[in-house]
Amino acid sequence: MNPIIKNAPLAPLTSLRIGGAANELWTVDSEAECVEALRQLDQSGEPFFVLGGGSNVVIADAGFAGTALRLAYEGAEHTQRDGETFAIDASAGDDWSLLVDALVEAGLSGVECLAGIPGSVGATPIQNVGAYGQEVATTIEAVRVYRRSSKKVEELTAAQCGFGYRSSELKGNTDLVVLGVRFLLERSQLSAPIAYRELADKLGVELGERAAVEDARAAVLELRRAKGMVLDEHDHDTWSAGSFFTNPLLTPDAFARLEDRVAEHRGDGPPPPRFDGEGGLLKSSAAWLIEQAGFSRGERRGQVGISSKHTLALTNLGDASAAELIDFAREIADRVETIFGVQLRPEPALIGIEW
């Protein structure tokens, strides 16, 4: 394990560049070191949290009164299964965006629409990371975890992970720490069927058709850059945690009430976006609701703003505090709930922050 850093600033380790220091920063360079560190932390009773790529987290200005455990180990192994199926065992500390690039360049299909998403591999099953019609849940075979209660490493099947929209049984489960993920991908020069209208239009294909896997990745990266969703230290629109709010999932009755509220608020305007969700739920668009509530791209509060490229991204304009960010996020969520009766939920992990 790397030398322990006392009173370690955490803001530079996050894409938002916001937050205070941790009492200690432990950086591990292998899975074995990670497991040993977890056992030591549990034995000492020291509070800790796991820090991966830092792209989906907001850390309080006061920092964290405990240890930040940073996963810096990498390495992915490829094994051919039957036919054209390959298993990829990736370490939790692997850079997700670089892994997707390598897999696409190797002619493997199934994660190309998740290109350009910052962060670590270990975070992907926790959030069931998804974009442009793909989710990691569709390609994950198993997740390797350390179970703190039993002090053992075990493997969870995809079914045991309980994947849902931007969620899983791993999310918020402090007993389990992700050590690695095994993906099953197809060797193919064609992408998985394109399931997102904007991407299909960009590629010039119909929904459900396939495109060249390299073309699909390139199109996704172009779309993400246009929305400020590819990290660029010179572009403050990318100093964010990605989409700050998840799209709301509503029962049919709740969606009908939303339609009534929208009609009351907008008169003859268009109804709210509607998509089929899981378990009979209906999904609407958080970005659309935010815009209809009167917020606009580029709007700012002090050193925090809504991205000029994407309504769902809250950005650090240079010297923002976590308090400023959360206050603006609550202002947005409160107004949406007041007008439309829909509660917006933050997508990033909040460290030392109550919502």
Q: Which residues are catalytic?
A: 166, 243, 347
| Complete DSSP assignment for 117-174 | --SBTTHHHHHT-EETTEEGGGTEEEEEEEETTTTEEEEEEHHHHT-BTTB-TTTT-T
How far, in Å, CA of 83 to CA of 141, rounded?
Answer: 17
Let me know: does 148 contact 50? Beta carbons within 8 Å.
no
Nearest Cα neighbor of 326 from 316, 318, 311 is: 316
What number of other Cβ atoms are within 10 A of residue 197's Cβ?
A: 11
Residues 6+ apart with CB under 8 A from 83: none
Q: How many CB atoms lie within 10 A of CB 208?
A: 9
CA 110 to mean position of chain CA atoms? 18
Q: Coil, helix or strand for 51?
A: strand
146 has which bridge partners? 153, 177
- Beta-bridge partners for 349: 57
> Which run of H or E residues covers position 33?
helix 31-44
User: Cα-atom radius of gyration of the chain, to the nearest Å?
Assistant: 21
